[in-house]
Structure 1
Amino acid sequence: MAACVVFCSVCDAREHSGNRPHIVLVMADDQGWGQTGYYGHPFLKTPHLDDMAAHGLRLDRFYAGGPVCSPTRATVLTGRTHERTGVMSHGYPLRLQEKTIPQVLAKVGYVTSHFGKWHLNGIRGAGIPILQNDERRPDAFGFQHWLSVTNFFDMHPLMGRRGKTEGVFEKKRGDSSEVVVSEALRFLQEQLVKDPEALTFTVIWFGTPHSPWASLESDSEPFVQLSFQAQRHYGELVAMDRSVGTLRSGLQKLGIADNTLLWFSSDNGGLPNKDFQPTVGQLNDSVDGMVPLRGSKGTLYEGGLRVPSIIEWPSRIEPKISQFQAGAFDMFPTILDVVGLPEETMLPVHDGVSLCQLFDGEPSERNKPMGFRWNGGGAWIHGRYKLVVLNTKKSKQNKSSQELFDLVADPTESKSIAQEKPIIFKQLMREYVLFSESIDKSMRGKDYPLGRLNEPDPEPKRWASDETIYTPFRKVFEEEQKLLEKLTKPAKSD
C-alpha cells in the first residue's frame, strides 16, 4: 500500500484570525449520492446544487458519519465517529460531555444557531418541536439560538424556538426546506443589523427527502410517471434544491457571500426503493465514469455511506473537483483550521482531518484511514482499499464475515479480494480491530477529562410514550398529523 503523506494546513484564517468567515453547514436528510443533476441523474434536476458544485469544491468521495441519520449528526458536531459520542444509531442522545463546534466557536465570538432537524436528544418517532425543558436541546451543545424539531418534518412544520414559553410553538407555512432557509436568512440579517462585524455559525438541517413525503404539486408534477410516493419524494428534492438557491442568493444580498464557507452534504446514503435511486450515478470528469454504488441507507457499502458534498467559499476556494476521500468527521477539524484554532481544541480522541489542504491542491492520499462501526458491523477505508465487516450473528452461520474491496478498480464493490490480497486484508483487519478497541474505550468515557461517564447513556424514547416531557404535546401533534394526512393522501379519481 502507498505510504500516507502528512500535509500542513494552508487555511488563511490561521494567519489572519481577524478575517474569519461566516460558516453555514447545510445537510439533507436521506439524499442519496446519485440524487443530483451534476452526477447525471436521469430525471431529477438540481440547478442550484449544480451551480454550487460548479463554483465550489466538489467532493466526489465524501462519506457520511454513518449509514443512518443521528450518527452523522453527532459526527458532524464532534469530529468523532458516532459510537464514541453515545449515539449508537438513529434516535440515540448525544452525550452532554461531548465538545462541539458551536461550543468552541461561541467562545471566540461567533453567534451560533440551528434550524431544522435535530435528532440528537434521544427522541424517536415523527418530528415534533423541541421543548424548552428537553435536557438535550440544541443550546445544551452550544447553539445560542434555535428553531428546531426532534426528527423528520415536511410541509407546514410546527417548530420549537429557544426562549418560547413552554408549550408555545410556531406554525410555519410552506415547504419545510424553504421555511428553515427563510428563517435562517432572517436571523442572519437581524444579527448583521445589530452588528455588521458579527461572525455567524449557522446549521441548517433539512427534513428532506426523509419520509413521509409531502411536496407542492408544482414540484412533484415533473415526476407524474412515477408512483405517488416517488413523486413527492422527488418533489421534496426539487424544493430543497430551490432553497439552496435561496440561501446562496440571500447570502449575496446580505453582502457576506464572498466570505462565507457554505458546506452542503447529506446524512446518509439514499433509499433502496428503485423509484428513488437512478440505475446509474455519473461522476463527471472522474476515474469512475458511470458507477452504480452498492447498498443504500442502513448499509456499510458505498451506497449507504457516500453522499454528495460541496464546499463553497468564493474568496478562498477556486472551483474544482476532488477525488480525495473525506467525510463528516472532517468538518470539525476543518472549521478549527479555518478559524485559526488548534486541533487540541477538540477532545483528544477524534477521527477527522482538516480539509484545508484541498483548498489549494489535491493530496495523493489521506493521512488518516476512515472507520465506521454500526449495528454490529463495520468498515475501514485505507487508501484504495475498503474492509467491510458484516454482522451475521442473526444468520444461521452465527459468525461475522469480512470482505475486502479495491475501490479504484471496483467502485461497485462487486467482488471481494480478501483471498487475493491476504497481506492487505490482514493489515486492514488489524487496523480495524485497533479502531474498534479505541471506540470501546470511548464508549466507557475514557476520552473525557474525568476519564469516565458522568451518567449512564439513556436509552432512546418515543415521545408518544414519554410520560414526563412530551405528554402535553400529544393533542397538538395529533391535530398536525391529521392535516399532514390530508396533504399527502392521493386525490380520488372520478
Structure 2
Amino acid sequence: MFSFINNMRLKTPAQTLLTLCVLLLVPNAFAEQRPNIILIVADDLNWDDLGAYGNTGVKTPNLDKLAKNGMRFDNAFLTASSCSPSRASMITGRYPHNTDAEQLHWPLPKEQLTVSQTLRDAGYWTAAAGKWHLGEDTKQRFDEVRESKYGIDEPSGSAQWVPLLEVRPKEKPFFLWLASWDSHRPFYQGEYPHSHSQEDVRLPPYYPATELYMNDFAAYYDEISRLDEHVGKVVSTLERQGVKGNTLIIFVADNGRPFARDKTTLYDSGVKTPFIAHWPDGIAKGSISDSIISSIDLAPTFTALAKADTPTSFEGRSLVSLFKNPSASFHDYAVSERNWHDFEDHGRSVRTKRYRYIRNNYNDLPATPSADTVYHKTWWELTRLFEQGALTEHQARPFLAPRPKEELYDLLNDPFELTNLATDENYLSVLRHHSDILDKWILASGDFIPSFRTPDDFDRVKGASAPHRKRPRPSKMQMYQASGSY
C-alpha cells in the first residue's frame, strides 16, 4: 500500500485525482491488504499423530512444512470431541450447547450467526468443499458449497479443494472452509501416497498391542498421509496463484482419532487438536505457542483479520495477539463438552496447563465410543479380550460402569491420563479449584443438564447391528431443565 502511495506522488495532480476517484468507486481496491483465510478441518485426527507434533512414524511432510514455516500451537482444544457439534462450534464461535446443535447430526439452526456470513458481508468470497455435516441452512451462508458425500463422491473428501481455488473471484479476498473425510472410518478406501507398517505405529498404552490393532493404526496413518497430500496441493496452488504470502492457513481436527479411548471422550486424545497457523506475511516463521486456545477462538480471529464487526454472540477471543507474540498469556483454561453421539452421555471438562478435570454427569453409563468404532473389528477384539479378563485396567475403561463422577489428571506426570487423582487427598485443592472453574463456566455460558436422556441409536455391545434411525429433535425447552440443574 505504501509503495502504491509513493507511486501516486509521481503522477500529475490530474492523474492522482483520477486514481483516487477510481479507488472510491471500487471498494475492493485494497482488498489484498486483508488476508485470505483458509480453514482446513481434518476428520478424526489426534493432535500428536503428525510429524510436527513428534510422531515420526506417520508421513506428513506438507503439514510438517506448514508448521516449520508458521506457528504451531501446543495447547489447542476443541469444545467437543464429536464431529458435527465441534464444527458447529467453530463456525459460530460458540460452545456446542449454545449452538442448538450440540448433538451429533443436528443441523445448525438458521438463527445462528456464522463467521462465513460475517466475512461474506464484509466483502469476502466464501466457499466450502469436502465433508459438510452442518445442515442445509448453513450452506446459504456461503457463496458456494461443494459437499462431498462419503463413499459416493471420493474417499478423501478433498478432491474439490483445489478446483474451488481455481474458480474463486480474483478481485476479492476469500474465506475457504476445506474439510476432509480423512481419517474417518472405514479405512482402506482409495489410494494413499504412503503405506505405513507396524514398525511406524506409536500405540498408546491404553490399547492392546495385538496384530489387529497395530495394522489398524497403520491404516489410520495411511489416511493421514492422504490428507497431508491434499494440504500440499492447496499450498502449491496458492503459490502458483501468487497469493500464498497473504493467505492465512489454519489446520485443525474436529476430534480425536476414531478409536475407543479417543474420539467422543473428554481426554486430551479426544479434545486436544493439532493447530497449525501459516501466514508468511503475518506470522513469524517457526514459532511455537503453548498458550491455551480454543476452537471458539477461530471465528473472532477471522473477523478481526477481515476488519469486520465481530458478532456479540461469538464467545471466543481473537488469536491475532498470539500471532504477534506467541508467548503471551491468553486463556487460563479451556472447556469441552460431551453430549449425545450415537450413544447417550453427558460430561464437561476443564483443561488448564497442567491438569484436566472431568465431570461425568451420566456416570452410571459406560463410556461407549462412537458407532463407527463399535461396529469395527478392533472393538470386537477389545470386547473379547475384556470378557477374557485379558485387558489392563486402562484398556478396559470403555466398558466400566459406573464411572467415577469426577476425574482429575496431572498431564505433566501422566500424559496419557491413566491415574485418576480425584480421590487423592494430596490433590484436593486442585480438584476444588477446577470444579469451581467449571461451576462458574456453567453459569456464565448458560449450560444445563438435559431433563431427559436421548435413546442410543445402536447396541452398545454388538454395534451397528440395527439400522440407524433418525431421532426426532426435541425443543430446547424439552431438552434442558431450568438453571441450577447441575
Same fold, judged at TM 0.5 (above) = yes
Q: 2:346 aligns with which of 376, 390, 400?
A: 376
Give, in whole Å, the separation in 2 of the partners of 1:434 and 1:405: 20
**Correspondence for 1:478:** none
Give, in whole Å, the separation in 1 of the partners of 2:230 and 2:67: 15
Q: 1:402 aligns with which of 385, 406, 423?
A: 406
Q: Map of 1:82-231 to 2, 5 A cutoff?
A: 82-121=96-135, 136-140=136-140, 142-149=141-148, 153-154=150-151, 157-158=152-153, 176-188=156-168, 191-192=169-170, 195=171, 198-217=172-191, 219=193, 221-223=195-197, 230=217
- Which structure's residues are more often strand, by fraction? 1
**Correspondence for 2:270:** 304
Report if aligned partners of 2:89, 2:95 keep a CA contact under 8 Å in 1. yes
The one-letter code matched in structure 2 to 1:143 is F
Q: Which has the higher contact order (CA 8 A, sep 6+)?
A: 1
Give, in whole Å, the separation in 1 of the partners of 2:248 and 2:195: 34
Aligned residue for 1:421, secondary structure, equals helix
Structure 2, unmatched stretches of 5+, are: 1-29, 200-210, 339-344, 367-399, 458-465, 471-486
**Correspondence for 1:259:** 246
Moved more, 374-383 or 94-103: 374-383
Report if aligned partners of 1:138, 1:146 keep a CA contact under 8 Å in 2. no
Q: 2:86 aligns with which of 72, 82, 89?
A: 72
- Per the alignment, do residues 238 and 45 of structure 1 end up closer, same or farther by CA in structure 2, a change over 3 Å counting? same
**Correspondence for 1:280:** none
Deviation sequence 1:349-405 (CA, Å, 0-9, x none): x43222112112234533453212213111012443331112312369768611233
Q: Map of 1:377-456 to 2, 5 A cutoff?
A: 377-390=347-360, 391-394=362-365, 401-418=405-422, 419-440=425-446
Q: Does 1:246 align with 2:238?
A: no
Report the CA distance between 1:248 and its aligned residue. Answer: 0.4
Give, in whole Å, the separation in 1 of the partners of 2:320 and 2:179: 23
Report if aligned partners of 1:111, 1:144 keep a CA contact under 8 Å in 2. yes
Q: 2:222 aligns with which of 226, 235, 238?
A: 235
Deviation sequence 1:206-237 (CA, Å, 0-9, x none): 01110122444553644488867555433322
Give, in whole Å, the separation in 2 of the partners of 1:117 and 1:424: 40
Q: Which runs of 4+ in 1 moved over 6 A?
A: 395-399, 462-466
The one-letter code matched in structure 2 to 1:61 is N
Q: CA RMSD in A?
A: 3.2
* TM-score normalized with structure 1 length: 0.68
The sequence identity of aligned pairs, in percent, is 25
Q: 1:19 aligns with which of 24, 28, 33?
A: 33
Q: Does 1:324 align with 2:291?
A: yes
Give, in whole Å, the separation in 1 of the partners of 2:363 and 2:449: 23
Alignment: residue pair count: 374
Give, in whole Å, the separation in 1 of the partners of 2:237 and 2:31: 25
Report if aligned partners of 1:387, 1:403 keep a CA contact under 8 Å in 2. yes
Give, in whole Å, the separation in 2 of the partners of 1:312 and 1:100: 23
Report if aligned partners of 1:178, 1:239 keep a CA contact under 8 Å in 2. no
Report the CA distance between 1:145 and its aligned residue. Answer: 0.5
Report if aligned partners of 1:102, 1:112 keep a CA contact under 8 Å in 2. yes
**Correspondence for 2:10:** none
Give, in whole Å, the separation in 2 of the partners of 1:100 and 1:316: 24
Question: Radius of gyration: which is bigger?
Answer: 2
Deviation sequence 1:9-35 (CA, Å, 0-9, x none): xxxxxxx98711110000110111222
Report the CA distance between 1:37 and its aligned residue. Answer: 1.7
Give, in whole Å, the separation in 1 of the partners of 2:273 and 2:93: 17
Deviation sequence 1:300-348 (CA, Å, 0-9, x none): 01111112110001001012111111121110111122222344x241x
Report if aligned partners of 1:219, 1:236 keep a CA contact under 8 Å in 2. no
Aligned residue for 1:201, secondary structure, equals strand
**Correspondence for 2:397:** none
Give, in whole Å, the separation in 2 of the partners of 1:397 and 1:215: 35
The one-letter code matched in structure 2 to 1:431 is I
- Per the alignment, do residues 464 and 382 of structure 1 end up closer, same or farther by CA in structure 2, a change over 3 Å counting? closer
Deviation sequence 1:40-78 (CA, Å, 0-9, x none): 325321110110110011112211231111111011101
- Per the alignment, do residues 373 and 217 of structure 1 end up closer, same or farther by CA in structure 2, a change over 3 Å counting? closer
The one-letter code matched in structure 1 to 2:270 is G
Report if aligned partners of 1:403, 1:417 keep a CA contact under 8 Å in 2. yes
Q: 1:272 aligns with which of 235, 246, 259?
A: 259
The one-letter code matched in structure 2 to 1:183 is P
